[in-house]
Amino acid sequence: MHAPADRFAIARREAAADRRQPGWFCARRLAGGGVYLRWRGLFEFLVSPEGRRILYRRLEHATAGSFDVYLIGQVLSCSLVALGVEPLHGTASVIDGEAVVFLGDCGAGKSTLGAALLSRGFPVLTDDVVALKRRLGRWLVQPGVPRIKLFPSVASKLLGSRAEGVPMHHQTPKLVLPLGTGQALGRPVPLRAIYVLSRPVGDARSCRARVEPLLGREAFLGVIRGLFNLIALDRERSANQFALAARLVNDVAVRRLIYPRRLSALSDVCDTLLADFEGRPSLPVRERPLGSEAADRRDRRGCP
């Protein structure tokens, strides 16, 4: 819901009192329980304490593309957290009726890898916010808005004439590209595996893509680092995140996908990923169960 400037005045004063907040982006939990978010020159948002109402105000450099990206991405993640859902920050693609989720730092290539698979006919399920729900013993990845964010050179290389998008905002050349029928899937899909994207160590020029299993602590940390974390964690939210990560690594295979960040390497990366997908069991191979007590505590909280 659009709101006038005075609806944000108290939130702005609280945020201004926090000297730890950077100039470009501000995310602060308010005294009244809601969340205030601001991207300088673009937007400011207020998420209600229960997560069911979002107020927004466009600023001088706002575009339609950037509004969709931030509202449906980072702002929505705050709403989901308030509703008891801990989303992952990643991209999900669908291969043979099952979802694979890519996690990694900003700029790791999650969207690019999703686009590379899309160029081979594998649809995108969601880009940016990955919401999960457990049903009948399996994790389901919920569909997102049918769009993907890519740099123009990546979009042109991977999607060709289909790469028509709108600029994200004035501080990045990234485009927001709508996805049409057959490019995106609009229903929940069972989660097959999680891939944590990593760069090779040493000389990347001679490096080929490879997949390694992540077990125990490494798998757990890979998932924890992939959770959306815009605002400071309180004790309850930290416990929810740990419980979710523990349950995921016990239920789903977690792998590390290592490859050089070159467009020319993406064909090899897709081949490696698809070969791993076809040859790997659905459940993780692990040394011992991890975090069963934490998972039980999570169930008692009613979190997904």
Q: Where are the domains of the chain?
A: 5-62, 88-301
pLDDT at residue 118 in the model: 97
Helix (H) or strand (E) holding 44: strand 43-47
pLDDT at residue 286 in the model: 46
pLDDT at residue 289 in the model: 40
pLDDT at residue 300 in the model: 28
User: CA-to-CA distance for 236 and 195, rounded, in angstroms?
Assistant: 27
User: CA-to-CA distance for 157 and 279, rounded, in angstroms?
Assistant: 29
pLDDT at residue 165 in the model: 83
pLDDT at residue 285 in the model: 47
Q: Give pLDDT tens digits for 55-114.
A: 988 888 877 777 777 777 788 888 898 888 899 999 999 999 999 999 999 889 999 999
pTM for this prediction:
0.82
What are the φ/ψ torsions at residue 65 (nearest 5 degrees)?
A: -65, -45
Q: What is the CATH number of domain 88-301?
A: 3.40.50.300
Q: What is the largest CA-CA distance in the chain?
A: 58
pLDDT at residue 84 in the model: 85
Q: Which parts of the chain register pLDDT below 50?
A: 282, 285-304
296: Cβ contacts below 8 Å, ≥ 6 apart: none
3-state secondary structure 67-114: HHHHHHHHHHHHHHHHCCCCCEEEEEEEECCEEEEEECCCCCCHHHHH
